[in-house]
Structure 1
Amino acid sequence: MTSPTHFRQIVFVVAVWSLLFARGYAEQPNVLFIAVDDLRPELGCYGKPALTPNIDRLAQQGLQFDRAYCNQAVCGASRLSLMSGLYPEYTGERTYHVTGWRERWPNVVTLNQHFKNNGYVTVGLGKVFHGSGGPGVDPDNWTEWLKVPGQEYSDPASLAAKRNATSARDGSQRGPATESADVGDDSHFDGNRAAIGAAQIRALAQGDQPFFLAVGFTKPHLPFVAPKKYWDLYQRDTFALPDNRGFPPGYPLYARNRDAGELRQYSDIPNEGTPADFPNELNQRLIHGYYACVSYLDRNVGVLLDALQEANVVDNTIVVFWADHGWKLGDHSSWCKHTNFECDTRVPLIIRHPSLLTAAGRTGALVELIDLYPTLCDLCGLERPEHLQGTSLLPVLDDPTKSVREFAYSSYPHGAGQGIGRVTGHSIRTAQYRYTEWWDKGDQVIDAVLSDIEVDPGEVTAVEGDATLKSRLSAILRGRVLAVRKR
């Protein structure tokens, strides 16, 4: 017997396809799914000085989401949440690697699996789930998973530094945090991923089945390694730490990633002091490297977009460009991700659909990455699996002034120290505010912070007073967490 939920899904999908058919779009579309690691909205189309003409072109042709948020600011948990359609707070999969997740969740139908089960040729390569191979990429549930060759470093000095380095933090061997060797685009993993992804587009376009192609790019993840020509696009002395470089007063210590431990693992990063003690030359080099990697990413995205044009499938392919979480570039006296701050949870998101949009543009609607799974189901005429916790963005794609959420929710587990043990930061982002509470293992609130993002986008100070507003947001947040856990 069809359940009420099931019936509503069928009615909604029929309505979607009636709309698409009315706009002259009757075929099942292909999907190009571009995943990016550690990319905050540091792009030209988001008003930043990064040189990103290809991504900007995509934004001009699609819908740019200005307030999109990840569900946890760490690679593995964020990606698994999107690909499974389940929140980390529900699954308990909160680590950066989520090793063994498929054994713990054998019956969850992933995004790639759902498309494969519904007649799509599904091909994946690069970093889509965490890692680029092994059981964590859900290899049995793709038509084909491609292992792409490549290397992390090209400069002999970098390779030697990696061989000789032993991190004082965890004993691992990492080379330098940056490299600008004068090499070609295909000398590194991401250049090869772009080339193989483009070849896949051309081959898949010749088939008689729709395709779902997922291409995951690693940069701008550390180390900041990109061919020299992308470094040459920028003058290093123009880079400086952001205005919110200090740790905001009124925030608990466990609100921050104080040590930037991920960065400390590289051979040329000092182990002494805190990131606030880094010399200016190092800060500038790191920001320069991040920007170089962003422009290298842009080139690789352009290779894929051009391949769609060459294969004559632009008019039948949805393109989704997303990042797993943001990143700190010296914000809050730190680097990397791993917090509930706006700079770590906010991500770029662009969706280009050839017929659904009445006009290209941008939207301020609050959305979460977990919303992509149901959205793609609706856009491609597939029934949504009942386990999905996200919300379809179809109403926003049809009318960018609409909203589907009153707030975006994210969480992050912390080692609190100070005799408290582990805590979880639960956070909601409304149109104006970010409200975060840190809960102990018994779900007791041990600290809370309210930020007015509208007037203080860098979260430089906490909002004092206004007990009524805080109480209201606290009730909303607790209700959301409990609902997520129940599904």
Structure 2
Amino acid sequence: MKTLNSYGIVVLLLFMAACKEAGKKGAEEKKPNIIFIMTDDHTTQAISAYDQRYVSTPHIDRIAEEGILFKNCFVTNSICGPSRAVILTGKYSHINGLTDNSKVFDSTQVIYPQLLKKAGYQTAMIGKWHLGSAPVGFDYYSILPNQGQYYRPDFIENGKRITEAGYVTDVVTDKAIGFLESRDKDKPFLMIYQQKAPHRNWMPATRHLGMFDDVTFPEPGNLLDNFSGRGRAAKEQLMNISTDMMEAWDLKLATARELDSLTGIAAGHRFGDTKEDDFEHANDKSTDKARFLEVYNRMTGEEKAAWSKVYDRRVAEFERLRPEGDDLVRWKYQQYMKDYLACVVAVDENVGRLMDYLEKQGELDNTIIVYTSDQGFFLGEHGFFDKRFMYEESLRTPLMIRYPEKIAAGTVSDALVMNLDFAPTFLDYAGIEIPESMQGASMRPVMDNSGKAPGNWRKAMYYHYYEYPSWHMVKRHYGIRTERYKLIRFYNDIDEWELYDLQNDPKEMNNLFHHPEYRQVVEKLKEQLKELQLRYKDTDPTERDTVSDKHYQSRQPDSN
């Protein structure tokens, strides 16, 4: 038997070392996959990792338990389309051009998926897009037209319109898993996986209908807020549970017999199928039953039967109780919560289904998994539903990130982060240079520092909302939020300021702007606000082009 001489041994050792180094280098160069999960209007109050009062979300919670949970993630503009544009571009609304939902996204500007694709990623966009223009920068897309439908949803798939059987939350996940099955396994992937739920009008899957009928949810302490001590902005909105929810569309107060008798009333009109239609019927209760009939008629006969079994009981209860005044508000709140949270349960189930698939495929730990929403939402706080305001429930959005290679399990962060930071963060982890045009910052230094904000991290964030007059009639406003304080200026047809001390008044019930003892606080915050406006190039905030008034200039708010 031949043996190696000393020269051969040296050569062999050098060869083995070279192979080891090459393997190490290859491992270092392997790019992480990225799955960006975003729901619509899913507030932190309805995620048990943040708040355990209302619903259990074990699969969503798993992302936080095995990664990092951000307690202070905020949006720059709390409304669907603009938030999505900020996330894609890493730029504020006044820079990317999508200030409100009437606009169409300018797809000629650089978005982070394009940069990832250029760097070798396979890219997919699945689910709710809501930007008006067709997706650009994706190898595959299958998107819901405008707001999308809960039952038998339409999709635009690589330019072709199709209709799918089933419940939208399940179908979007089917498509996501289908992409993962068929993708190029030699490439890292970016998959943007965006659900419609739990967006209004909160239609649960048939398997979840009535699941909370025996539950009485705790009421927020300010459900019956009368806005004393605050100005016109808080009082003149149209998002009160008490007066602004629609009986059929929101509360499902229409029996099967009544709906069947109306069949054909909405023929020829597709409410909300385009941005023009979506805005044409803002706050208009005269179309309530016609709008609901359209989505009801998307169900199969079997689905309608299951639906009617639950909601005919609700109508009967309402007729029996005939609640009035504060009792009516409380009754509506309970129905709203039952439907909203049942939609959340379907989201949670499908997050679990997706993660189980990744785990079986051996891709879970090499994938950065992000869970967030396009903004927060009011679950009865101040008596509100919807979002838009710079108040905490609307401003704050959930953010959890799982990536065991770089993020320690169970990390919790108090750092002030924004949806403006998402794009730079993804590019940073992928080893791609962050464009100077992006105004956000990579959150990686926070995550590398066990969730603690480095010394040079932001101490305040800037917000600007534009969509008025429009849905819910929330006044245009901008403001600053620090760790302790929030200063808001409402403008356009009013000029009002609000100041909140979040340490002493976390529910934001007492406007302190005119209190003499807070004069120095106001002056300092105004200086910081100007600095942020200069940094983000929003130096003329009240003159920015906003939502077209053509549909609303002659329309008075519906007071019914």
TM over 0.5: yes
1:89 aligns with 2:141: no
Structure 2 vs 1, CA of residues 244 and 449 (structure 1 numbering), >3 Å: closer, same or farther? Answer: same
- In the alignment, which of 353, 356, 367 is matched to residue 403 of structure 2? 353
Indicate conservation of the 8 Å contact 1:39/1:220, yes or no.
Answer: yes
The 3-state SS of whatever aligns with 1:485 is: coil
1:234 aligns with 2:212: yes
Structure 2 vs 1, CA of residues 277 and 411 (structure 1 numbering), >3 Å: closer, same or farther? Answer: farther
1:384 aligns with 2:434: yes
Is 36-45 or 238-247 further displaced after alignment? 238-247
The 3-state SS of whatever aligns with 1:365 is: coil
Q: What amino acid is the match of 1:409?
A: Y
Q: Which residue in the other structure is 2:124 paired with?
A: 123
CA distance in 1, matches of 2:430, 2:90: 16
Structure 2 vs 1, CA of residues 484 and 231 (structure 1 numbering), >3 Å: closer, same or farther? Answer: same
1:412 aligns with 2:465: yes
- In the alignment, which of 40, 52, 55 is matched to residue 50 of structure 1? 55
The 3-state SS of whatever aligns with 2:536 is: helix
Indicate conservation of the 8 Å contact 1:258/1:275, yes or no.
Answer: no
What is the Cα deviation at residue 347 of structure 1? 0.5
1:287 aligns with 2:340: no
Structure 2 unaligned segments of length 5 or more: list them.
1-23, 153-163, 254-284, 287-323, 540-560
Q: Which residue in the other structure is 1:143 paired with?
A: 139
Q: Which residue in the other structure is 1:374 paired with?
A: 424
Indicate conservation of the 8 Å contact 1:148/1:192, yes or no.
Answer: no
- In the alignment, which of 230, 234, 237 is matched to residue 258 of structure 1? 237
Q: Please give the per-residue CA displacement for 1:76-124, whole angstroms capped at 9, x wherever unaligned.
A: 011111111110133442212532x22xx62x21121111121110011
Structure 2 vs 1, CA of residues 437 and 416 (structure 1 numbering), >3 Å: closer, same or farther? Answer: farther
- In the alignment, which of 437, 452, 455 is matched to residue 401 of structure 1? 452
The 3-state SS of whatever aligns with 1:336 is: coil
CA distance in 2, matches of 1:476, 1:90: 20
Q: What amino acid is the match of 1:250?
A: G
1:194 aligns with 2:198: no
Q: What amino acid is the match of 1:53?
A: P
Q: Which residue in the other structure is 1:33 paired with?
A: 36
Identity %: 26
Indicate conservation of the 8 Å contact 1:287/1:329, yes or no.
Answer: yes
Indicate conservation of the 8 Å contact 2:68/2:408, yes or no.
Answer: no
- In the alignment, which of 175, 188, 196 is matched to residue 218 of structure 1? 196
Pairing of 1:316-355 with structure 2 (within 5 A): 316-355=366-405
The 3-state SS of whatever aligns with 1:225 is: coil
Indicate conservation of the 8 Å contact 1:77/1:97, yes or no.
Answer: no
Q: Which residue in the other structure is 1:7 paired with?
A: none
Structure 2 vs 1, CA of residues 458 and 345 (structure 1 numbering), >3 Å: closer, same or farther? Answer: same
- In the alignment, which of 469, 482, 486 is matched to residue 534 of structure 2? 482
CA distance in 2, matches of 1:256, 1:412: 17
Q: What amino acid is the match of 2:130?
A: H
Q: Which residue in the other structure is 2:312 paired with?
A: none
Indicate conservation of the 8 Å contact 1:244/1:332, yes or no.
Answer: yes
The 3-state SS of whatever aligns with 1:319 is: strand
Give the TM-score normalised by structure 2. Answer: 0.69
Q: Which residue in the other structure is 2:12 paired with?
A: none
Q: What amino acid is the match of 1:453?
A: L
Indicate conservation of the 8 Å contact 2:368/2:403, yes or no.
Answer: yes
Indicate conservation of the 8 Å contact 2:58/2:348, yes or no.
Answer: yes
Q: What amino acid is the match of 1:361?
A: T
Indicate conservation of the 8 Å contact 1:202/1:307, yes or no.
Answer: no
What is the Cα deviation at residue 341 of structure 1? 1.2
The 3-state SS of whatever aligns with 2:397 is: strand
Structure 2 vs 1, CA of residues 277 and 450 (structure 1 numbering), >3 Å: closer, same or farther? Answer: farther
Structure 2 vs 1, CA of residues 275 and 454 (structure 1 numbering), >3 Å: closer, same or farther? Answer: farther
Q: Which residue in the other structure is 1:3 paired with?
A: none
The 3-state SS of whatever aligns with 2:332 is: helix
CA distance in 1, matches of 2:409, 2:173: 28
What is the Cα deviation at residue 279 of structure 1? 3.9
Structure 1 unaligned segments of length 5 or more: list them.
1-20, 155-184
Decide which structure has the larger Cα Rg and report it.
Answer: 2
The 3-state SS of whatever aligns with 1:328 is: coil
Is 32-41 or 428-437 further displaced after alignment? 428-437
Pairing of 1:138-217 with structure 2 (within 5 A): 138=135, 140-147=136-143, 152-153=150-151, 187-204=166-183, 207-217=185-195
What is the Cα deviation at residue 151 of structure 1? 5.1
Q: What amino acid is the match of 1:456?
A: D
Q: Which residue in the other structure is 1:449 paired with?
A: 498
Q: How many residues get paired?
A: 419
Structure 2 vs 1, CA of residues 193 and 276 (structure 1 numbering), >3 Å: closer, same or farther? Answer: farther
What CA RMSD, in Å, does the superposition of the two structures yield over aligned residues? 3.1
